[in-house]
A = this chain, B = another copy of it.
Amino acid sequence: MIRLNKMTDYAVVMLSHMAGDNDRRVTAAQMALDSGVPSPSVSKLLKQLSKADILTSHRGAGGGYSLDRAAGDISVAEIITALEGPIALTACIDGTDTSCGSLPLCSMSGHWNQVNRAIQGALEGVSLADMIPRPFAFEPASDELKLKITTGVQQTDIKTETRITRAP
């Protein structure tokens, strides 16, 4: 199973919690109370999100965090990337990796990239605004829940016509 770790899961919950009004400032402590996420993890996450310009931090007394932009302008892809790095399946994705030495002819990189791009696209297609839960209290976070997919019900149409700007 391809999985998102718990921290990212937390982050999405916390962010959608903030997504109502973007001027509201929430302190880490308050967020921990609201969401049930352990407070050190909340801090860690909010810091990271702030560093990634998804949140804006306000220091000092009366400070806290607020959304940097409207919820509709923040994609799930962006959140994941901020917390887990570039979206990719770990595979031979990178020419610079020589540890694939046991597989000298491995030239699958291109194809994995194709898949990776498609996944990235899927995640870019959903914004934080799309994820806002109805104004119910949700249970405190604990374990992950695995969403299962019924295959064949409705398949997404993916056209790949890719544009990758290579990183330095």
Contact = CB atoms under 8 A, between A and B. Distances in A.
Interface string A98-119: 0111110111111111111111
A159 interface: yes
Interface residues of A, number: 97
B2 A80 contact: yes
Interface in A3-45: 3-6, 9-10, 12-13, 16, 35-37
Interface stretch (A47-55, A57-65, A145-153): A145-153
A138 B85 contact: no
A104 B156 CA distance: 24
Q: SS class of chain A's interface: helix, strand, loop or mixed?
A: loop
Nearest to A165: B161
A85 B115 contact: no
A90 B6 contact: yes
Interface in A131-168: 131-168
Interface of A: 1-6, 9-10, 12-13, 16, 35-37, 76-77, 80, 84-97, 99-103, 105-126, 130-168
